[in-house]
A and B are shown apart, each in its own frame.
Chain A
Amino acid sequence: MSLEELAFLALALVAIVTALLALLVRELVHTILWIAIFFVDLSAIYFLLEAPFLGVLQLGVYAGAVTVLLLFGIMLTRKRIFSREAATGIGPVPLALALVTFIFLVSAVGQLPQNELAIQTYDPSALSVNLFGPNGAWLILLGLIMLSGVSGAIYLVREGRD
């Protein structure tokens, strides 16, 4: 087993465990800490997949901004920050649905070629040329959606908007 495979297995294990812990622990602040580790771990997986630009973007946007936004959401909605959630049981139906989805997807994965391939590397500058060239429409669309999303968010939290 090569070093890369070992690294991937470790990172995948951390990703699954932290994602599960984030949804199962009862203190919301601990949830945020677990999800921050999850985001950093995914960023490491992007670096492993030779996508350094996306790895840095994941660190900046998810591990940085989204985590802080979620923390603000908790801060602003409860009086005491370390207050426990009421336990919500693990229902059999959601568990079965999630498992069926997982098994269905994994069975589709089995039909792909199983041999080892070399990872294709790209220059980050080639990615930026692609983003502002052939995929420029997506970037403009993203900008418009972000603009409308943020103005909608400001409208929603405005005091006395009636």
Chain B
Amino acid sequence: MTDLALTGFLGLSAALLGIGLFGILTRRNFILLLIAVEIAMNAAILNFVYFAAFPASGTSGLNGQAIAVVLVGFAATEVAVGLAIVLALNRLKGTINVAQATDLRL
């Protein structure tokens, strides 16, 4: 059983969300964009795990860990679909620069 200050984890999570947002806004490469989304998603998952570790008194935080497990699965699916889009985009346009993906249809 360890004791930790409450706020450090939330600060880390906020920082990771900021980094992910920055990556989403600046990068033009589709794979880097996916990585930035993953960083932001991991910040959210970290929050769930954090609040599961420090629940309100008298309650169980186990639901937080359960939702974190489900979110990890969602994120993995998202990467699989994202990479399929990367491959389709590369076959169609010859590049994975999202600035050049101007057609709605893949």
Q: Which residues of A contact B (CB under 8 A)?
A: 2, 4-5, 8-9, 12, 15-16, 19-20, 22-23, 28, 31, 35, 38-39, 42, 45-46, 48-51, 53-54, 57-58, 61-62, 65-66, 69-70, 72-74, 76-77, 85, 88-91, 93-95, 97-99, 101-102, 105-106, 109-110, 112-122, 126-127, 130-131, 134-135, 138-139, 141-142, 145-146, 149-150, 152-154, 156-157
List chain A residues, Cβ under 8 A from B61. 120, 122
State A88–B61 Cα separation when bound (angstroms): 42
CA distance A149 to B85 in the complex (A): 12
Number of A-B residue pairs, CB cutoff 8 Å, is: 248
Interface residues of B: mostly helix, strand, loop or mixed?
Answer: helix
List residues of B whose CB falls within 8 A of some A CB: 1-23, 25-29, 31-32, 34-36, 38-39, 42, 46, 49-50, 52-55, 60-63, 65-70, 72-81, 83-88, 90, 96, 106
Complex Cα spacing A77 to B50, Å: 37
The A interface is mostly helix, strand or loop, or mixed, namely helix
